[in-house]
Amino acid sequence: MFHWLEKHPFFFALSVFVVIAFAGLVEIVPNFAQASRPLVGTAPYSTLELAGRHVYIKNSCNACHSQLIRPFKSETDRYGHYSLSGEYAYDRPFLWGSKRTGPDLMRVGNYRTTDWHENHMKDPAAVVPGSIMPKYTWLYENETDVATAYAEQLTIAQFFSTPYNTPIPMKDGSSKIIKMGDSIAEANALALEEAKVIVADMKDQDIKDAVASGKIPEIVAIIAYMNSLK
């Protein structure tokens, strides 16, 4: 049979394809629908959080930080409850990472504050002596791209029925609404509203001034995202 295949390239290629495609079908298809259901209490990202997530991705934070807490005592002691599949239901793309040069960030919002991030991103080694994390000074200058985050919200709401502007059940029985603007102007206004809450806890006067004048530096967006990780 193999000799015959080696003389018939089309059937050879077909056989190779069947053999390699097989594993993917068996592994991926069965659990696909099930794995994408959100947990009660898991909400989609707000406009500024999503923009902050883009800043996180733009700077490849996931190259050094994971967002996956494994079910070991040493990990739950350090980072909090181990990760559950439903918590990732709105993560497109997933940001588990594959290397922990720095600590896991899955629940960083539980134990770090806006103030801490503000100082840390500016000069990590000043906050954590011995840290090898670079300074992310440009985050304090670059302006956040809210429009792209808004475009993504519109896309996921339309294609994946991500529940914006509808009540989402919370763990305590209450419900929460994550707002999405009807226009770019409204999206900007929503993001700015969130940004004002963040800067209230910040010290850098330039950042405060920027937000007061309607601009959102990237640092504000990424802190909004960090604080949402719980």
Partner 1 sequence: MNKNGPLEYDYSVSKLFIMNALFVGTIGMLIGVILAWQMAYPEFNTFLGEDLAEYTNFSRLRPLHTDSVIYGFVLSAVWASWYYVGQRVLKVSMAESKTLMFMGKLHFWLYFAASAVIVASLLMGITTSKEYAEFEWPIDLAITVVWLLWGAGIAGLVGYRREKSLYISVWYYIATFLAVAMLHLFNNMEIPTIIATSPAGETMIGAWWHSVSMYAGTNDALVQWWFGHNAVAFVLTTPIIAMIYYFLPKESGQAIYSYKLSLLSFWGLMFVYIWAGGHHLLYSTVPDWMQTMGSIFSVILILPSWGSAINMLLTMKGEWQQVASSPLIKFMVLGSTFYMFSTLEGPIQAIKSVNAIAHFTDWIIGHVHDGALGWVGFMVIAAIYHMAPRIFRREIYSRSLMNMQFWIQTLGVVLYFTSMWIAGITQGMMWRAHDEFGNLAYSFIDTVTVLHPYYTIRAVGGTLYLIGFVMFVYNIYKTTSAPRVEESDLQNASPMGA
Site for partner 1 in 64-123 (CB under 8 A): 64, 66, 68, 70-75, 77-78, 83-85, 87-103
Place of tokens 């980072």: 79
- Binding to partner 1 by residue 125, rule CB under 8 A? yes
Stretch that binds partner 1, among 113-121, 137-145, 171-179, 197-205 (CB under 8 A): 137-145
**Contact between residue 224 and residue 110 where contact means Cβ atoms under 8 Å apart:** no
What is the nearest approach in angstroms of partner 1 to the Cβ of residue 101?
7
Stretch that binds partner 1, among 157-165, 167-175, 198-206, 207-215 (CB under 8 A): 157-165
Which are the contacts of 36, defined by CB distance < 8 A and separation ≥ 6? 89
Q: Is the dihedral of CA 64, 70, 72, 78 positive or negative?
A: positive
Stretch that binds partner 1, among 58-66, 108-116, 168-176, 200-208 (CB under 8 A): 58-66
Q: Name residues contacting partner 1, limited to 35-54 (CB under 8 A).
A: 35-36
Residue 22's Cβ-count burial label (10 Å; 0-12, 13-18, 19+) is exposed
Which are the contacts of 122, defined by CB distance < 8 A and separation ≥ 6? 135, 136, 137, 140
Q: Name residues contacting partner 1, limited to 201-230 (CB under 8 A).
A: none
